[in-house]
Every structure is written in C-alpha cells, then in structure tokens.
Amino acid sequence: MNPTDLIDLGPLAQIALLAAALATLPLTWLAWRHRGESVPQRLRALTLVTLFLTFDLVLFGAFTRLTDSGLGCPDWPGCYGNSSPFGAIHQITQAQATMPTGPVTHGKAWVEMIHRYLATGVGVLLTVLMVWSMLAVRRLRRSDPAQARLIAPGWAALAFIWVCLQGAFGALTVTMKLYPAIVTGHLLGGIGLLALLAVQTRRHAPQPLALPATLRMAAWAVLGLVVLQVALGGWVSTNYAVLACQDVPTCQGQWWPPMDFDAGFTLQRGLGVQADGSALPFAALTAIHVTHRIGALVVLTALGLLIAALRRPAPRYARGLLAIAALQTLTGLSNIVLGWPLPAAVAHTGGAAALVALLAALLAHSHRAAATSLPASSHLPSAVLPR
C-alpha cells in the first residue's frame, strides 16, 4: 500500500478538540495558581508545565515504541479513519484475530492513540505559549519595556515550529512502517523539543550563572557527545539490537565479536532488512550494540570531567548530572543483564532526555551571565540564539 493512502485527515478535527480539552486542564490550573503574578512569571510557569508534560510525552513515546505499539493504529492521525479505537473495534478485532500477537491489537491501538492525544495536547500548549508571548511582548513594549525584555517570543515560535515537524515525523513513523531512521529522528526530535523548552526556562533565571568561557565550551562539547550517543541509543532501540550482547563487559563472550558495520549503519533501509531487501545479519546488530557501548564509555568519561569542573561554580548542575549519569549506567546495564526489562528501557530513554535538557539549561543559564556582562553599547554576535 502506498504510504499516502494511510493518511486520513477526517478525524483530525475531533482529535484536535480532544487535545484542546486536555490542554485546558493545565491552563486552568496555571491561571488559578499564578493569578496576580506578572506576565513574564506566568509565561515561565506555562513553559515549565509544558516542559514537564513534554518529558512525560517522551517517556510515553518510549513506552509506545518498546511495547511494539507504534503500528497499533496503522493509519494517521486517527485509527482506521476514526478519532479513537472505539470507532475501530471491528477492524482491530479482525486484525487481532488474524495475528493475535501482531502489530494491531486493542491494547496497542489505545497506547498509540493516547500517545497521539498527548502529543497534540502539548502542541496546543505550545501554540498558546507562542501566541501569548507575541501578544504580551507587543503590549509590554509600550507600557513596561523592562518586563517585555523578559519574554522570548522567538524561542516560543521556534518550539511551535519544532512540534509541527515532530507531528510530521510521527506521521512518517506510521506510514513508513517503523522505518528505523524515521523512528530515531522522531525520538531525537522529542528530546530536542525538551531542550528548547529547558532553554526558555533558564535564559531568564533569577540569577545568571557565571562560568569561564573554557568551561562553557567544554559543556557544549559534552552536549554534542551526548546528542550523538542518544542518536546511537535510538538506533539500538529501533533496530532491536539491545540483546545482541547479553554479557558485560564482553559481548557474546568476546571482546571484539564478528560485526558488520556497513549493514548496521546503513540508514536507507527498512526494519530488519538491508537496502536490497535481504535479512539484516546478526553481525550488523552486534555492530550497532558495541558502538553504543563504546559511545557510553566516551560520554561517561567526558561527563565525569565536566561534573568535576562544575562542582564549585555550579554545584546543583554537577549533582544533577551525576545523578543522571548514575541512572543511565544502572539502567543501561540492566537492559543487558536482565533481558531488556520495560521499566529499565523506558527509564533509560528518560535519563537521556533529562541529560540533554539539563545540559541545555546549563548553557542557557550561563549564556545569560555572559550576555549581561557586556557593556551597554556592545552588540551581541549573530551566533547568539534568538530571544
């Protein structure tokens, strides 16, 4: 079937209304909880709530992938042309009767659709954040310029565009039948959105964080390594290569088992097959797994050095990074020696997301210190991220 035949926009309006209703709950709570505060404070509170819900969405996305529920509804954005699995009971029952453990079951359909509802709800919150930021900064520029400078409409607009692209990747994940490169890109996109929101919460923190320029450069380098390692981890997960090595520290009882790196890291191929359609060899899965292990050693070493350097100027960040590094080590080992248990696998994804977000927040927090230390007549370089 052509992938475009799997896109049915008929239920889109109903799904959007449901997502708007879901988004009303945190918006109502925020309006009550932060009543009387300034507009920048309320916008920051909305950003924090959206950050929290986006983190939950990343975790639920991992749960969806790890329970093989990504094709629980084989079309997009609805389920067999309906806004919920309730309207697709007949089709799901038929598919489940044909393949009881296949990709389409009642449970998997609900997991997939709940993931879509949550994603659309986050999209609604990001839309509100963008529109509110733009309107507020326009109004405050005339009445209170100092307050207007605390609002970052450019970042809110970037997050909105990002989540729209994430929606497109979500559609491709379904229509391309869990194409590994698309699924990995979707995971990276979700973590990237989390980083964007983390930046927005820290760029206007109460106190800027003064870090030496060399330490900031080191943090950037570690962030780059972490993102590469997250991509490798996503590639391991989407290719189901976690269990290619079930012993530690060796793999298959060897320090360097037979591996096929060319087949393992060919991006233009389907799930479980090579570019020519033949079955993916086990040596390719081994290559993927071992590369991720090597990456973990490199990242943990770099993280350890960064944590040691941050102990004095940024002890809270150092403690947070240390806790996440410990979590990632524990869950990573658990995935291997315990046979990839679901809680450990989901937690490993959550740790990766939290690590990227915390590093992004660190850089944004220290960026403010660098910016505020400039003379009033100075101009920020064009490489500085948009307000």
Q: List active site positions.
A: 112
The upper half-sphere exposure of residue 321, i.e. CA atoms within 13 Å in the direction of its Cβ, equals 28
Question: Two tokens at 342?
Answer: 């679901």
- Nearest to 293, CA basis, from 327, 340, 258, 244: 244
**Please, what is the angle between helix 342-372 and helix 213-238, to 10°?**
160
Q: Which two tokens stand for residue 226?
A: 């972490």
How far is residue 212 from each of residues 215, 219, 250, 355, 363, measured CA to CA in Å?
Answer: 5, 11, 40, 21, 12
Q: Which residue from 136, 334, 175, 138 is spatially nearest to 248, judged by alpha carbons? A: 334
CA distance linking residue 108 with residue 342, whole number of Å:
15
Phi (first) and psi of residue 316, to 5 degrees: -65, -40
| Exposure string over 63-73, b if 16+ CB within 10 A, otherwise e | bbbbbbbbbbb
What token pair was written down for 27? Answer: 């918006």
Please report where in the chains the tokens 């390719």 appear, as a residue: 284
Q: Using the CB atoms, write b or e for 19-35: b if 16+ within 10 Å.
A: bbebbeebbeebeeeee
Calculate the alpha carbon distances from 358 to 40, 109, 318 in Å: 22, 33, 10
Hey, what are 47's tokens?
């950003």
Alpha helices in 99-212, H assignment, sequence order = 106-143, 145-148, 153-175, 180-202
